[in-house]
Amino acid sequence: MTKETWLPVKGFGGRYEVSDQGNIRSFGKRILKQYTHKFGYKIVYLYEVDKSIRKRKCSRVHRLMAEAFIPNPDNLRDVNHIDGIKNHNVLSNFEWVSRSDNVKHAFKLGLKNSDTVQGTNNRLAKLDDNAVKYIRANKGLVSQRKLANMFGVSQSTLQIAQSGKSWKHI
């Protein structure tokens, strides 16, 4: 068994350390409990101190590991799990990638497909299937402004749904 290497977690003034084996410990050397985020990533809760106010921050373990151990000379935004397994936190399984490359990789591995990001499966969706059906059925009968206000979306979101550029599966 290899010796665990520890480095400071960036942005916390040395209050926390991350290991090359995926453990996180506090300055008191206590290993922190990890949880599984709803999207499948391992997370820990770290505390920031800002003018005597403690703020709890949810941090993804793989990101903390990559920031500490993997150089990012191109200042890329995302940490990709090469094998596509979100909780497989081994340094050799990480690479820094652009957001675009990360999404392409997810499609290539089959982690995402057009079915998983459509409609209410898209976590950013502001409408549901019934709302889109109603919006389309009332196109020209009710003003876009009124429809947008009814559903709490912008007029541009409404126009895209009406035109079929989004919600294509309906």
How far is Cα 81 from Cα 28, in angstroms, rounded to an integer? 30
pLDDT digits (tens, 9 = 90+) for 11-57: 888 899 999 999 999 987 899 999 999 888 999 999 987 767 778 89
Domain regions of the chain by residue span: 6-108, 124-163
Tell me the three state secondary structure of residue 128. coil
pTM above 0.75, yes or no: no
Mean pLDDT of 129-156: 88
The per-residue pLDDT for range 97-130, each reduced to its tens digit, is 999 999 888 888 877 765 555 565 666 677 888 8
Give the right CATH number for 6-108 from 3.30.1490.20, 3.40.50.2300, 1.10.3720.10, 3.90.75.20: 3.90.75.20
SS3 category, 104 = helix
